[in-house]
Amino acid sequence: MTLTRQDCAALDAADALSPLRDQFDLPDGVIYLDGNSLGALPKATAARVQQVVRDEWGVGLIRSWNIAGWIDLAQRIGNQIATLVGAGENELIVGDSTSVNLYKALSTAIALQKIDAPSRRAIVSERSNFPTDLYIAETLAREHGMTLVLIDADELPAHLNDQLAVLMLTHVNYRTGRMFEMAQVTRDAHPAGALVVWDLAHSAGAVPVDLTAADADFAVGCGYKYLNGGPGAPAFVWAHPRHTARMDREQLRQPLAGWLGHAAPFEFTTDYRPALGIQRFICGTPALLSMSALACGLDVFAHAERFGGLPALRQKSLALTDLFIALVEARCANQGLKLVTPREAAHRGSQASFAHETGGYPIMQALIARGVIGDFRAPDLLRFGFTPLYTRFVDVFDAVEHLRLVLTSGEWREARFNERAAVT
């Protein structure tokens, strides 16, 4: 790799997406490569949240459920996300956390299979799936007398059998950045009799997703990574219309029957009558302040449509990760790093992960001290996320240079970088 920093600056100058960086409030002196964990702050967010607090809450008080449209906000924001993941209008809704929404979606998939194929007793997921997904699946498997089967990705074909009830996968693996071919996996799973639940936490807003074209069954995802909704932003849940239509016909419930998922919540009846469609997947009162912040993150994507939208963002994401991988392997050769992210574009999300032979934690801490923020995932992964809305090519070049200096100087061995913090 012979590219210079001047070459990278030229790439930025030619980048049609570069104006989108101005939508974010990014601190000086920081190269932020952790948007796959927590997205950066949109400039509009602080004023919007202040306006909701000051005017809608402070002045409108409880009247804002009507006059400010609070009651419909979960669906309106859901429709914004739907455009990013290939869902139809009013098919996806926002609220609760990813873990809670996964519990709802996976429970519903299990309930449907217990009606249609009660002999199927296996929930299959990837061994390296995000832990909360596995914990939820383990809990539900125990409750329903089923078995959670953990596999490596390349073992999947062997488990598409008459025991498989639900296949639960994260579209882009949080550790490696490996991306499943959603449509192909779903096409393989359905003839085997399985339903498929997808976690889009590391996909939505970073890579093109088309749930409808893939004929997926259920999907969940969070709002605080590539959607830039802020720490703890509400998550989303989607169910294919064929499933919500069936739930409507047969009066099937998702397991958390909360008051806003009622067909007529302000009748305050003692019996539960589920709302139609995706609305039944709402449980409790939405977090209005957090949802208002999330709306600002999503507004950036509407702005990005002027510059080519998600296809253009995906093209830039691949260019950024290609450049990072090539520069690391050229400039940090023989420093104990091993790429674990797929090189093939079709199998790569918007991140690059390297394992380090002696463990990556102190290396990442030394990088953070230099102003290059990625993160560490046990036991040995240095993880770097590339958000094409605001990451520049010069950021990639400079980050690799800092990584080279950290490794060649040995500064990562300093005691201060080896003291484990609670969050890595």
Give the model confidence (pLDDT) of 187-224 as tens digits: 999 999 999 999 999 999 999 999 999 999 999 999 99
In 3D space, the residue among 104, 33, 62, 23 whose CA is nearest the CA of residue 284 turns out to be 104
In a domain, 64, yes or no: no
In a domain, 397, yes or no: yes
In a domain, 59, yes or no: no
Stretch 237-264: mean pLDDT: 94
Catalytic hit among 104, 225, 348, 370: 225
Domain extent at residue 38 = 5-43+309-418
Catalytic hit among 34, 199, 375, 395: 199
Catalytic annotation present for 225: yes
Domain final residue, candidates 260, 276, 299: 299
Shared-domain flag, residues 180 and 272: yes
In a domain, 338, yes or no: yes
Shared-domain flag, residues 13 and 142: no
Catalytic hit among 21, 280, 316, 383: 383
Shared-domain flag, residues 283 and 331: no
What is the overall mean pLDDT for the chain?
96
Shared-domain flag, residues 291 and 206: yes
Catalytic annotation present for 268: no
In a domain, 56, yes or no: no
Under DSSP, is residue 3 helix (H, G, I), strand (E, B) or coil? coil
State the CATH number of the domain containing residue 331: 3.90.1150.10
d(CA 376, CA 55) in angstroms, rounded, equals: 41
The pLDDT score that the predictor gives to residue 42 is: 98
Residue recorded with tokens 């703890």: 232
Shared-domain flag, residues 150 and 258: yes
Shared-domain flag, residues 163 and 241: yes
Stretch 153-168: mean pLDDT: 96
Shared-domain flag, residues 192 and 329: no
Domain final residue, candidates 299, 323, 357: 299
Q: Encoding tokens for residue 235?
A: 């998550």
Shared-domain flag, residues 408 and 292: no
Catalytic annotation present for 224: yes
Catalytic annotation present for 76: no
In a domain, 49, yes or no: no
Catalytic annotation present for 361: no
Catalytic hit among 174, 224, 236, 417: 224
The pLDDT score that the predictor gives to residue 1 is: 59
Domain final residue, candidates 264, 281, 299: 299
Give the model confidence (pLDDT) of 309-337 as tens digits: 999 999 999 999 999 999 999 999 999 99
Q: How many domains does the chain have?
A: 2
The model carries a pTM of 0.96
Stretch 150-165: mean pLDDT: 96
Residue recorded with tokens 């890579």: 207
The pLDDT score that the predictor gives to residue 357 is: 87
Contacts 24+ apart (CB under 8 A), 285-289: 285/259, 285/260, 286/70, 286/73, 286/74, 286/94, 286/95, 286/234, 286/260, 287/95, 287/234, 288/52, 288/56, 288/57, 288/70, 288/73, 289/49, 289/52, 289/53
Shared-domain flag, residues 187 and 241: yes
- Rounded percentage of the chain residues whose pLDDT exceeds 90: 96
The pLDDT score that the predictor gives to residue 359 is: 79
The pLDDT score that the predictor gives to residue 125 is: 98
In a domain, 320, yes or no: yes
Q: Encoding tokens for residue 382?
A: 């240095």
| 233 has a pLDDT exceeding 90 | yes
In a domain, 48, yes or no: no
Catalytic hit among 24, 32, 130, 376: 130
Shared-domain flag, residues 338 and 279: no
Give the model confidence (pLDDT) of 266-295 as tens digits: 999 999 999 999 999 999 998 999 999 999
